[in-house]
Structure 1
Amino acid sequence: MSQTTQTTAQTVVFGRQLLSLEQVVAVAKGAKVELCADSDYIESIQKGARFIDSLLHEEGVVYGVTTGYGDSCTVAVGLDLVHELPLHLSRFHGCGLGDTLSPLQARAVMACRLNSLAIGKSGVSYELLQRIETLLNLNLVPVIPEEGSVGASGDLTPLSYLAAVLVGEREVIYDGRRRPTQEVYAELNITPLRLRPKEGLALMNGTAVMTALACLAYDRAQYLARLCSRLTALASLTLKGNSHHFDEILFAAKPHPGQNQIATWIREDLNHFEHPRNSDRLQDRYSIRCAPHIIGVLQDALPFMRQFIETELNSANDNPIVDAEGEHILHGGHFYGGHIAFAMDGMKNAVANLADLIDRQMALVMDPKFNNGLPANLSAATGNRRAINHGFKAVQIGVSAWTAEALKHTMPASVFSRSTECHNQDKVSMGTIAARDCMRVLQLTEQVAAAALLAMSQGVRLRIMQQELAETSLTPSLATTLAQVEADFSLLTEDRPLEAVLRNTIAKIQAGAWEVCQ
């Protein structure tokens, strides 16, 4: 396999190349997909399916093909029933509950499962891969409930909803509507697949759901690290902070690369050499001074998290593994999602710390005891109007609530293994729960960041209005951010509901719309 997957004109090519998590995100957001159509590649896939067929003719024993599933692996399935077995597997796992994955998340799941099966170690047909390709390009995605996976044997229950759609059952999201799959297939003249032996197991017995969420989480987390660096620069200006806390010589003494990257971003945003210390304090409080050390933990962890996620993404992670070339059926546990579980537990911890950091910065800028001369709650009201206006008071309470909830979710899911399925699955990863927790922590932290973006922008504008900060002294990066915020949010002088602008700001964070990269 080569080191990168081809991507041309927003088309991601599957088969024989490694997929990056950015390409999963691109597919999730609507990029077209293309399955490798080289004849020798097609033959390599078909060889696995034919090998399974040959074992049936020879009456070989293959787990999940001529046996029951899980603890039922000792139950023999007659050759007259093996073609029904995949359908039963998909149907009895149709018990997912909770909220459903968004279409974006479901597309990411489809991309991850397609990529794993396209490696050619799962004994599936090329036709199966083509059908997933077709559904993605039609933007026809399965309705997948979030809950029901313990992360080994993979994401059985949620992935059963993909298998079910392939055979024309359950529901899909198509053209923005939730509809029966059978109805949409009839409308589009699509013939439901009949799953071949091993194909039901190959579709379901893998880590595609947790891996898809991990790819999306990584994309959001790395953006948040950059955004929180920008917010720290804005907070420092709002508080008349000491920009020397981010000095290059200082950080050379503690050379964690991610931490130093964060310090560099903040330093460059502040135009360190042109902003002398304005505060009466020699040292700012920790939530400003130690921001690179806090955000830097996430920044330094991202490379190993990428390694874990992309290795899992580019693995054959079902069971059994089919070695068509050597004619081996290899029974193992590649469906175990321990690496994703660890990465997601670590990521949610590091991201929640960002929420906690920004929450503390918000507390400083709101309180006239700590904000170096700004009005309480950053209200821009003047004269006798100050008495009835409360600025960001309620928003800060919301920030405290969102932060507390984010911190509550940092309990590692991976340590809560439960023995299940007649003690066959007696040690499981909980990787999908960890990934779902991480997505919730990201959502809450993005809410905190959105509130801070509005508040810190107001704080800087108040400093300018009070002639304590020259607008011309702002770096282009900070000036751009302020202009973007001002386009959506006028100065908060008289109290008004802020829900709509908060939701809009959150949506822009999640779309990567704020220009926070150098």
Structure 2
Amino acid sequence: MHPADLKTISRAVCFDQGRLSIEDIVAIAEGSASVTLSQAPEFRATISRGADFLDRLLKEDGTIYGVTTGYGDSCTVSVPADLVAELPHRLYTYHGCGLGEYFSPAQTRAILAARLASLSKGYSGVSVDLLEQIVRLLDKGLLPLIPSEGSVGASGDLTPLSYLAAVLCGEREVWRAGTRVPAAQALAEAGIAPLRLRPKEGLAIMNGTAVMTALACMAFTRAEYLTRLCTRITAMASFALDGNAHHFDETLFSVKPHRGQQRVAAWLRSDLLRNPPPRNGKRLQDRYSIRCAPHVIGVLADALPWLRESIENELNSANDNPIIDPDGERVLHGGHFYGGHIAFAMDGMKNAVANLADLMDRQMALLVDSRYSNGLPSNLSGMQGPRAAISHGLKALQISSSAWTAEALKQTMPASVFSRSTECHNQDKVSMGTIAARDCLRVLELTEQVAAALLISVHQGVALRRRLAPAVAPEASLLAMAEALNADVSLIEEDRRLDPELRVLLDRMRARTWKLYE
């Protein structure tokens, strides 16, 4: 996202020890919210107590993992006192081995916000200066270039978060207004002094689940919107196919009490004829991709509440190691960097989302096939007269939709079961949470592409159905959706390329332009 594409800032998200929501992180990512660090004296005192306790422990020659010892399997290696200050800088240096595409600016803002959220809980032993430095990066639009590949999701997102740690100290590179700039130069020109990390701060920045959690927040918002959009597309497909609105009857769904599924059925009822006439000899039961649409979409709708709970619990956790208890003055060694909950959530989400792609692809197959579309022209071609013989309508679009669907389905293998023993068998069971989150975002992207194809298809189908039956008008909500689509997609009569329109629809979708249900 280029700075010119950022939304207007409408609110500030304050980071303290309070609970943050998925929407807070997404608003920061999309640029509609700014970031502030609490000025409350009690909050700042809590943060300082952890760092001060570590300072006292060091003066007393205490042994602290990652502070006076090496990292991971090297925890048995004692670090000489005169090298302790250098150790956190070594940590981010040797983890500078990420590859793959860089995270987008929006994803990077979400990553910084997620790490700030965890460190603000007051159990990481970091200084207020470190928290303020992250806020400065966000405020000035200096976004670390973070490669997306190289994390196994325990001991946290070490490699990608090393790029944040390095930039805080004036090393590596940042995106600034869409341009790649050395971090040292960007910080100097913004009037920001590079940090010199305190003993545990390198570990605190890197040894956590911020990357996978940030991606999960963004995935959740897209999946939630797709649930609604897929429902609206189904309603338009049902109308275009002259389907049976009785399939979504309230009494029918009262006997199967999945709340999300019932909600989807209610949305479909609101979009279709409130009192549909008898079938009068028409096919009594529509094919499954229409009749069972609430049952397919409802799986994701019912999963969203527990997905939210898992993601937001991770977002609002202190998830590095060791945990510093400033009040009890204890150093607690554990494994909170393990991203198993996010891994499971992302594996589950991508499965449910891929099923939406498959559902929509099957709906499109019905729409373009004159054997099953109840009188619609083959391939939904809008051309009439002699030129209809050379007009192919949406034939190729259906092929592309099938390709995107197949690729989405192929991505549903759960990443979380592919744990690999790493780092001299110290990290011998890892979460693969970041890979799962990246996979989920790819499935979302492909499913959105299928949805864009279906939007063109149902827009065309509704128009052609109304041409066949002018006296039958859609409900107001479907008419409003058709009119909104008219701004970007005109009726396809003469064959034309469709990729420009598909890209516009994807932009509208990802900006959540259409207001869908209450």
Q: TM-score, normalised by structure 2?
A: 0.97
**Residue equivalent to 1:481:** 481
Shift of 1:477: 1.5
Shift of 1:275: 5.7
**Residue equivalent to 2:22:** 21
Task: Give the distance between the partners of 2:66 and 2:45, measured in 1 at CA.
Answer: 24
Corresponding position: 1:79 with 2:111: no
1:194-273 → structure 2 map (5 Å cutoff): 194-273=196-275
**Residue equivalent to 2:4:** none
**Residue equivalent to 1:354:** 356
Residues 33 and 133, structure 1, Cα contact 8 Å, conserved in 2: yes
1:245-324 → structure 2 map (5 Å cutoff): 245-274=247-276, 277=279, 280-324=282-326
Shift of 1:479: 1.3
Per-residue Cα deviation, 1:302-359 (whole angstroms, up to 9, x for no partner) = 1111110000000000000000111000000000000000000000000000000000
- Identical aligned pairs, as a percentage? 63
**Residue equivalent to 1:95:** 97
**Residue equivalent to 1:161:** 163
Q: Given the superposition, is the C-alpha separation of residues 36 and 193 from structure 1 closer, same or farther in structure 2, using an over 3 Å criterion?
A: same
Code of the residue aligned with 1:67 in structure 2: it is T
Pairing partner for 2:442 from 430, 440, 459: 440
Per-residue Cα deviation, 1:375-396 (whole angstroms, up to 9, x for no partner) = 1110101111111111111111
- SS of the counterpart of 2:466? helix
Residues 242 and 279, structure 1, Cα contact 8 Å, conserved in 2: no
- SS of the counterpart of 2:457? helix
Residues 117 and 124, structure 1, Cα contact 8 Å, conserved in 2: yes
Code of the residue aligned with 2:20 in structure 1: it is L
Code of the residue aligned with 1:114 in structure 2: it is L
Shift of 1:16: 2.1
- SS of the counterpart of 2:82? coil
Task: Give the distance between the partners of 1:296 and 1:458, measured in 2 at CA.
Answer: 26
- SS of the counterpart of 2:242? coil
Task: Give the distance between the partners of 1:40 and 1:74, measured in 2 at CA.
Answer: 37
Residues 28 and 104, structure 1, Cα contact 8 Å, conserved in 2: yes
Q: Given the superposition, is the C-alpha separation of residues 184 and 275 from structure 1 closer, same or farther in structure 2, using an over 3 Å criterion?
A: farther
Task: Give the distance between the partners of 1:278 and 1:443, measured in 2 at CA.
Answer: 41
Task: Give the distance between the partners of 2:182 and 2:388, measured in 1 at CA.
Answer: 57
Shift of 1:210: 0.3
Task: Give the distance between the partners of 1:507 and 1:344, measured in 2 at CA.
Answer: 23
Task: Give the distance between the partners of 1:141 and 1:517, measured in 2 at CA.
Answer: 36
Task: Give the distance between the partners of 1:16 and 1:122, measured in 2 at CA.
Answer: 12
Task: Give the distance between the partners of 1:63 and 1:330, measured in 2 at CA.
Answer: 10
Task: Give the distance between the partners of 2:90 and 2:279, measured in 1 at CA.
Answer: 70
Code of the residue aligned with 2:29 in structure 1: it is A
1:349-498 → structure 2 map (5 Å cutoff): 349-467=351-469, 470=472, 473-498=473-498
Residues 245 and 276, structure 2, Cα contact 8 Å, conserved in 1: no
- SS of the counterpart of 1:197? coil
Residues 370 and 378, structure 2, Cα contact 8 Å, conserved in 1: yes
Per-residue Cα deviation, 1:186-237 (whole angstroms, up to 9, x for no partner) = 2112110111110000000000000000000000001000000000000001
**Residue equivalent to 1:3:** none
Residues 481 and 516, structure 1, Cα contact 8 Å, conserved in 2: no
- SS of the counterpart of 1:272? coil
- SS of the counterpart of 2:81? coil
Q: Given the superposition, is the C-alpha separation of residues 167 and 278 from structure 1 closer, same or farther in structure 2, using an over 3 Å criterion?
A: farther
**Residue equivalent to 2:516:** 516
Residues 246 and 276, structure 2, Cα contact 8 Å, conserved in 1: no
- SS of the counterpart of 2:174? strand
The runs of 5 or more residues in structure 2 that have no matched partner are 1-8
Pairing partner for 1:175 from 170, 174, 177: 177
Per-residue Cα deviation, 1:276-298 (whole angstroms, up to 9, x for no partner) = 54782100000000000000000
Residues 108 and 144, structure 2, Cα contact 8 Å, conserved in 1: yes
- SS of the counterpart of 2:331? strand
- SS of the counterpart of 1:212? helix
Task: Give the distance between the partners of 1:80 and 1:355, measured in 2 at CA.
Answer: 58
- SS of the counterpart of 1:214? helix
Per-residue Cα deviation, 1:448-469 (whole angstroms, up to 9, x for no partner) = 0011011101100011112255
Residues 341 and 432, structure 1, Cα contact 8 Å, conserved in 2: yes
**Residue equivalent to 1:500:** 500
**Residue equivalent to 1:121:** 123
**Residue equivalent to 2:5:** none
Task: Give the distance between the partners of 1:253 and 1:37, measured in 2 at CA.
Answer: 53
Q: Given the superposition, is the C-alpha separation of residues 275 and 402 from structure 1 closer, same or farther in structure 2, using an over 3 Å criterion?
A: farther
Residues 347 and 415, structure 2, Cα contact 8 Å, conserved in 1: yes
Code of the residue aligned with 2:262 in structure 1: it is N
Task: Give the distance between the partners of 1:334 and 1:458, measured in 2 at CA.
Answer: 51
Residues 240 and 279, structure 1, Cα contact 8 Å, conserved in 2: no
Shift of 1:39: 1.1
Code of the residue aligned with 1:482 in structure 2: it is A
Per-residue Cα deviation, 1:173-193 (whole angstroms, up to 9, x for no partner) = 111212111111121121101
**Residue equivalent to 2:139:** 137
Residues 140 and 190, structure 2, Cα contact 8 Å, conserved in 1: no
Task: Give the distance between the partners of 1:365 and 1:342, measured in 2 at CA.
Answer: 35
Residues 241 and 277, structure 1, Cα contact 8 Å, conserved in 2: no
Q: TM-score, normalised by structure 1?
A: 0.97
Per-residue Cα deviation, 1:255-291 (whole angstroms, up to 9, x for no partner) = 1000000000011011331565478210000000000
**Residue equivalent to 1:4:** none
Code of the residue aligned with 1:107 in structure 2: it is R
Residues 240 and 278, structure 1, Cα contact 8 Å, conserved in 2: no
Q: Given the superposition, is the C-alpha separation of residues 440 and 432 from structure 1 closer, same or farther in structure 2, using an over 3 Å criterion?
A: same
Shift of 1:9: 4.3
Q: Given the superposition, is the C-alpha separation of residues 182 and 354 from structure 1 closer, same or farther in structure 2, using an over 3 Å criterion?
A: same
Task: Give the distance between the partners of 1:126 and 1:479, measured in 2 at CA.
Answer: 54
Task: Give the distance between the partners of 1:468 and 1:71, measured in 2 at CA.
Answer: 74
